[in-house]
Amino acid sequence: MKEVTLSEGLSEEIRRIYEAMESDYDEVARGLNFSCNGCPDNCCDSYFLHRTYTEWAYLWKGFRELDESRQQELLERSKQYILECAKAEAKGERPQVMCPLIDDGRCTLYTHRLMVCRTHGVPASMRRPDGRTLNFPGCFRCQEIVKKKFVHDSQAPHVERTPLLQRLVGVERELMGEKLHLYPRVKLTIAQMLVNGPPAIPTPHCERPGIKPNV
């Protein structure tokens, strides 16, 4: 297996995409007078699955900037997170476990956090390749604001995710090459991305591609 590594150019493009996501988010948040300050909830215990080799590799880029003892601590937390999620799923429940990267309410890898972490909260929409539009109402607190300010949800400002997602897909294709469709689809939590190690693709002599089994 050959590790997937990001060139400086692709890393910079990811940074720009993330920066644009934050800008769009902030614009909508200002329009709604929405803020996470004082919220009784913490969305970092939400169960999200992430789906690109690009973000997986970028997360590991940030992870490697930490000292070895910190890395080990986060890996141990990630293993516990995976176990707690498995217990919830065995009961038929959706896991609600705090992300292993959170310390005192702050993300250890904040500048390398993934797309879902950056976009959750305010209303958003996304157009799928088949033309269908998906609408996301935002977190419970934002939904309360929208209901008070607007007759209908569609009147509220929202983030249009499609252009930035298309740019992210472009990075994914450049990173993984023309055989992207042959590789296993990514469907992992942040904890699994860390415990599984950095993303890897098969070397030419391998017969089948694969992602390491989840711990």
Query: Which residue from 125, 181, 113 is spatially nearest to 153, judged by alpha carbons?
Result: 125
Domain ranges within the chain, ordered by starting residue: 2-201
Average pLDDT value for residue range 73-82: 98
**Dihedral of CA 10/15/21/23: which sign?**
negative
pLDDT digits (tens, 9 = 90+) for 130-188: 999 999 999 999 999 999 999 998 899 999 999 999 999 999 999 999 888 889 999 99
Partnered with residue 126 across adjacent β-strands are: 134
pLDDT digits (tens, 9 = 90+) for 20-46: 999 999 999 999 999 988 888 889 999
Average pLDDT value for residue range 87-112: 95
pTM for the predicted model, two decimal places: 0.88
Is there a contact between 209 and 184 (Cβ–Cβ < 8 Å)? yes
